[in-house]
Amino acid sequence: MDFEPDCLHCGTPLEGRQRRTCSARCRKAIQRQAPALRVCRLCGQPFQPTGRGRVTLCPYDDADDFCQGLQDDQEDLQAARLAAREEGQCEGPGCSSPLTYGGRGRPSRFCSPACKTRAYRAEARS
Ligand SMILES: [Zn+2]
Ligand SMILES: [Zn+2]
Ligand SMILES: [Zn+2]
């Protein structure tokens, strides 16, 4: 934790062993204001979500090298998946069977239920 010279809530100069806030009341007020921490889906570390929306990753600029690496991998993976989808290939791990699109509804992403299961398992592990 950084040492703050003044109370983060009311601005009263801090003294002695006080950190961040001058009183328990101010500390609680700050906790109420700050959006709850979320846990990064990739690196598992808590982060402070900025802005609104469904953020499930550390903000890239704030992420440490480890998480930035994971986010880069994730992007590569998504790009590869998109490319595969355009070519009509199965997205199952290690499978590149062509997909036959029946022309109705959403085209399927996998050539077989087995590939689907394997892909979801791989996703859950990452
Ligand atoms: Zn205060
Ligand atoms: Zn992260
Ligand atoms: Zn497949």
Cα 79 to ligand 2 centre (Å): 20
Three-state DSSP state, 72? helix
**Entry field: residues in the chain:** 126
Residue 63 φ then ψ, to 5°: -65, 150
pTM of the model: 0.46
Q: Which ligand is nearest to the CA of 100?
A: 3
What is the band of 104 on the pLDDT scale with cuts at 50, 70, 90?
A: low
Cα 57 to ligand 3 centre (Å): 29
Q: What is the pLDDT of residues 5-59, one digit of tens each?
A: 899 899 999 988 888 899 999 988 887 877 778 899 999 998 888 766 778 899 8
Cα 6 to ligand 1 centre (Å): 8
Residues bordering ligand 1, an ion, CB closer than 5 Å: 7, 9-10, 12, 22, 26
Q: Which ligand is nearest to the CA of 41?
A: 2
Q: How far apart are CA 71 and CA 91, in angstroms?
A: 20
Q: Are 64 and 43 in contact (CB under 8 A)?
A: yes
Q: What is the pLDDT of residues 57-72, one digit of tens each?
A: 998 988 999 999 999 9
20-29, 46-55, 91-100, 117-126: range with lowest mean pLDDT? 46-55
Residue type at 16 in one-letter notation: G
Cα 46 to ligand 2 centre (Å): 8
